[in-house]
Amino acid sequence: MAKLYFRHGTVSSAKTLNLLAVAHNYRTQGKQVVLIKPALDDRFGSEMIRSRAGIEQAADIKVLADTQINRKEFQGVSCILVDEAQFLSAAVVEQLRDLAVDMNIPVICYGLRADFRTKLFEGAARLFELADSIEEIKTTCAFCNRKAVTNLKHLNGVATLSGPAIDLGAEEKYFPACYACYKEQHAATSLHKAA
């Protein structure tokens, strides 16, 4: 039986680069892969899945929170790869779970675990509940050499907890951070505001 996978990591942990490498490997073997992305992720254009390393592929399917997945689109598919899975609704994650089981197609979802406030995203929470396999894609903290476990958001060069949970950006706004540096950066912001 095929599995539902959740491969999570902080910002800048090469999740999308990993997804594109998996797609390349399947296609090199002559197998059909479907690439899915949430419609709201338009940082690199509405159609593209792009790694910060510059490698990109067009998405085959863009999904909205209320998307009803059409199973006919997956006939003959060897693997389904999902980028930015944290932005999926719980309902879409459940449909992907059913695809893996009912159609015997592995579904590999890549995404963040939590937002910059350390709160789980809806899609990530449901993936933690339903995935057969949960794997962490690791990277180091941008401020020290420990493992990054949080996504630190900066606004005007200082750490912030303000703004909506979904606030698209890249290296100009978000940094991978260990929890100690995450706390330190926010403490420095508090001191800066008090001065």
CB atoms within 10 A of CB 45: 12
Task: Tell me, yes or no, if 172 is annotated catalytic.
Answer: no
Alpha helices in the chain (DSSP H): 15-28, 90-103, 122-130, 179-194
C-alpha to C-alpha distance for 115 and 62, rounded to whole angstroms: 22
Token pair of 169, please? 């950006």
Q: What residues contact residue 75 under an 8 Å CB cut-off, 6+ apart?
A: none
Write 162-170 long-range contacts (CB < 8 A, 24+).
165/115, 165/116, 165/117, 165/119, 165/121, 166/40, 166/87, 166/115, 166/121, 167/116, 168/40, 168/41, 168/42, 168/43, 169/43, 170/11, 170/43, 170/52
From the candidates 73, 84, 172, 184, give the one annotated as an active-site residue: 84
Catalytic residues: 84
